[in-house]
Amino acid sequence: MFLSLQLLLLLAVLLGTDGYYYSMIKECISSSSDMVGAEYIDSYYFNKQRYVQFNSTVGKFVGFTEFGVKTAEIWNARSDLLAVEIAELDRVCKPNLEIQFSHILGKTVEPKIRLRSEQQASGDHPAMLMCSAYDFYPPAIDVYWLRDGQKVTTETISIEEMADGDWYYQMHSHLEYTPKSGEKISCVVEHASSKKPIITDWDPSLPQSEKNKVAIGASGLVLGIVLSAAGFIYYKKKTTV
CATH of the domain at 61: 3.10.320.10
In this structure, the answer to whether residues 90 and 18 fall within a common structural domain is yes
Residue 13 has pLDDT above 50, yes or no: no
Residue 148 has pLDDT above 80, yes or no: yes
Residue 138 has pLDDT above 50, yes or no: yes
In this structure, the answer to whether residues 174 and 116 fall within a common structural domain is yes
Q: Summarize the confidence of residues 134-162 as an average pLDDT.
A: 86
Domain that holds residue 26: 3-105
Is residue 58 assigned to a domain?
yes
- Alpha-carbon span 67 to 49, nearest angstrom: 12
Give 229's strand partners: none
Total-model pTM? 0.48
In this structure, the answer to whether residues 85 and 129 fall within a common structural domain is no
Is residue 216 assigned to a domain?
no
* Domain at 178, CATH number: 2.60.40.10
Is residue 76 assigned to a domain?
yes
In this structure, the answer to whether residues 166 and 93 fall within a common structural domain is no
Check residue 165 and report its DSSP letter.
S
Q: Which residues contact 15 (CB under 8 A, 6 or more apart)?
A: none
- Domains held by the chain: number: 2
pLDDT at residue 2, as a whole number: 54
pLDDT at residue 187, as a whole number: 95
In this structure, the answer to whether residues 52 and 127 fall within a common structural domain is no
Is residue 218 assigned to a domain?
no
pLDDT at residue 220, as a whole number: 59
Is residue 170 assigned to a domain?
yes
Give 21's strand partners: 12
Q: Which residues contact 129 (CB under 8 A, 6 or more apart)?
A: 115, 116, 117, 118, 145, 174, 175, 177, 185, 187, 202
Q: Summarize the confidence of residues 56-77 as an average pLDDT.
A: 96
Q: Which residues contact 167 (CB under 8 A, 6 or more apart)?
A: 137
- Alpha-carbon span 24 to 111, nearest angstrom: 38
- Alpha-carbon span 73 to 62, nearest angstrom: 8
Is residue 79 assigned to a domain?
yes
In this structure, the answer to whether residues 37 and 89 fall within a common structural domain is yes
Is residue 123 assigned to a domain?
yes
In this structure, the answer to whether residues 125 and 147 fall within a common structural domain is yes
Name the domain boundary from 105, 133, 167: 105
In this structure, the answer to whether residues 124 and 90 fall within a common structural domain is no
Confidence of residue 224 (pLDDT cuts 50, 70, 90): low
In this structure, the answer to whether residues 100 and 119 fall within a common structural domain is no
Cβ atoms within 10 Å, residue 85: 19
Q: Which residues contact 160 (CB under 8 A, 6 or more apart)?
A: 171, 172, 173
Tell me phi and psi for residue 196, to 5 degrees. -130, 160
| pLDDT-above-70 percentage for the chain | 76
Tell me phi and psi for residue 185, to 5 degrees. -115, 135
pLDDT at residue 12, as a whole number: 47
pLDDT at residue 51, as a whole number: 96
Name the domain boundary from 105, 120, 138: 105
Q: Which residues contact 35 (CB under 8 A, 6 or more apart)?
A: 94, 97, 98
In this structure, the answer to whether residues 188 and 132 fall within a common structural domain is yes
pLDDT at residue 151, as a whole number: 92
Is residue 195 assigned to a domain?
yes
In this structure, the answer to whether residues 50 and 119 fall within a common structural domain is no
In this structure, the answer to whether residues 94 and 116 fall within a common structural domain is no
